[in-house]
Chains A and B, each alone.
Chain A
Amino acid sequence: MGNVLFTSAIDGLLIGVIYGLAAMGLTLIFGVMDVINLAHGPLIALGMFGVYLLFTLLGLNPFLAVIIVAGLGLLLGVVIYFVAVNRVIDAPPLSSLLSTFSVNMIIIGIGTAMLSTSSYNVDYSLGTMDLGFFKAPGARIAASLVALLTTALLYLFLYRTRPGKYIRAVANNRISAELMGIPSTRILALAFGIGVMLATVAGGLIATILPINILAGGSYELKSFVIVVLGGLGNPLGALIGGLILGLIEGIVPVFMKTTWVPVIEYVLFVLILLVRPQGILGAKE
């Protein structure tokens, strides 16, 4: 029993890191501009298919493909910002919820028309890693490590570089940041681009370990909501911890009860935290 529990916990944590990375994209955008990006799921799916296409058509190593997908994701995010978000950035929340949802519909519409909703698979393996007490597919461990690395890079970017500091300044107080000469519109676009980039990277990493389809992003979007609320809306580090918690729940709960109860627990937890502690378990956004 102890061993089963341990293995499930590790399994959960490994996937939890990737959930956390996806959620970080959502929470970064919310923290900087108070926009909940409802196109998050389809963007994760685009990341999945980016890696899939680069792998099957060009024969690229999936982990190299993730880097290209990241660059494309950043660009796409900036484009989405200027098309759909910039005009409604100061409008009531309904406007940005709907404008990002319309992006969701457009991506899903094009995606289902071109790729249908059937399942695809990135046929790639790194063997099995065996540490004696614990066995896991190598690709799963590598994906988790890349997710951790991306998180570290995000933190370095936000705290050690000038554009990163600009983003934090705009998040804190956009008007003061503008008075200090920070070009806020461009910084908002950059932040949105990075948020989208994180979503696509997470999607790309998921594609290396699990089967994918164009609608698969939806369930990760919902997970991202749960994680983001767990860790506190607008707090990237909280998202990582929230991701680990969610991964643990998904790993451990099925040991005790039917897997179908996992989402019930997740969403009830989600609503309860919103009600009791909307700033998340780690505290408020800055």
Chain B
Amino acid sequence: MKRIFKPGLLIPVAIIVVLAIWPLFSGNSASSREAMFTLIMSMALASSLNIILGYTGYVSFGHIVFFGIGGYAGFWAITEMGWHILPAALLGGLVAALIAWLLGLAVLRLRGAYFALATIGILEAMKALVINLDFLGGPVGMEMHFSEYKRYGGPMESLWMVYWSMVFLAILVVAVSYFVKTSKFGLGLMAIREDEDAAEVMGVITPRAKTWAYVLSAVFPGIIGVLFFFKNGNIEPGDAFRLHFSIEWIVMIMLGGAGTVLGPVLGGGIYQWLRKTLLTSPIFKDYQLVVAGVMLLLIVLFVPTGIIGWVRARSAKLRRIFE
């Protein structure tokens, strides 16, 4: 129990909770709920990716593949099998985890840039495959009938239900991220990041540790994919497997600090907030991609450890508070 009441875990959870209840107090609750959904979803996705990317040092460039696979599995269960959203979401996570496990056994043998390339290849292969699968709707994807929402008491109620599920998941992801980081398992992962051969010599069973890290980082995007596409009402290959989105998650992680618990939460929040501000500003709305690109370049060149990494390197006191 002692591990739970540490600031390293409480701070990111508190950030998520404060953001999550914001729509209840703001005047326009529907629009602020949508904004917070995007924010909290980004935090959860970035934190999941951080387990394989930040802790283990394996750059999964095409990580959105699990978001898409989970989304498709859950969406199919809802529309074709008539499942309730919650078991469908779990199914999405399970399918994503299973595929991550199978893929992980193969591709985690690759290191460095080769692994990054392989994940891009897997993403594109999966996208091209789904386009050819007629039972998943092929290139146009699948749509959900509006009456589906009646089951949950109407569209309004379903949106709130998805919202609170998302908040719960985000807290769960952050907790998992924290417990991985402070566990012996996480120490093994970080040893792999620093020097995989040395870690192996020191007794870390690297193939097993890497595979579990990959599965852990895939299961949540799988679940989140189902929630996202259920809320969306339709799913198509272009949205489900967009390489650009998974690179955005990497930007969030880098912004906040790779390999930290708080970093992806902070980075996801700041990135989405900035994006929203840029999109609505008259000067920058056409150039938001340029601004994001320049920002990424500056971080990579000058603050490669991200905000939290930078703070931790400079203050011993804050190092004890921020994980």
Contacts and interface: CB of A to CB of B under 8 A. Distances in A.
Interface of A: 30, 34, 36, 83-84, 87-88, 91-95, 97-99, 101-106, 108-110, 112-113, 222, 225-226, 229, 233, 258, 260-261, 263-264, 266-268, 270-271, 274-275, 278
26 contacts: A30-B113, A91-B304, A92-B112, A93-B59, A93-B116, A97-B116, A98-B300, A99-B296, A102-B297, A103-B293, A108-B289, A109-B290, A109-B291, A113-B290, A225-B121, A260-B131, A260-B139, A261-B128, A263-B124, A267-B121, A268-B125, A270-B121, A271-B107, A274-B121, A275-B106, A275-B109
B296 A101 contact: yes
B35 interface: no
B110 interface: yes
Nearest to B290: A109
A266 B129 CA distance: 11
Nearest to B58: A94
B114 interface: yes
A264 B129 CA distance: 6
Given A99-B297, A109-B290, A275-B107, A264 B117 contact: no
Contacts, number: 122
Main secondary structure of the interface of A (DSSP, over half): helix
Top 4 nearest A-B pairs (CB, nearest first) are A105-B293, A109-B289, A267-B125, A109-B290
Given A97-B61, A99-B297, A108-B289, A34 B113 contact: yes
A275 B290 contact: no
Contacts of A222: 120, 124
Given A98-B296, A264-B132, A267-B124, A274 B117 contact: yes
Nearest to A86: B301
A29 B289 CA distance: 25
B125 to A, nearest CB: 3
Given A105-B290, A106-B290, A106-B294, A99 B124 contact: no
B114 A274 contact: yes
Contacts of A275: 106-107, 109-110, 118
B301 A106 contact: no
Given A95-B304, A260-B128, A105 B121 contact: no
B110 A274 contact: yes
Contact of A113 (B106, B122, B287, B301): B287
A102 B296 contact: yes
B10 interface: no
Interface in B246-261: 247, 250-251, 254, 258
A271 B118 contact: yes
Given A36-B116, A260-B131, A105 B109 contact: no
B200 interface: no
Contacts of A278: 110, 114
Contact of A105 (B122, B132, B258, B296): B296
A274 B293 contact: no
Contact of B300 (A95, A104, A110): A95
Nearest to B113: A93
A88 B117 CA distance: 19
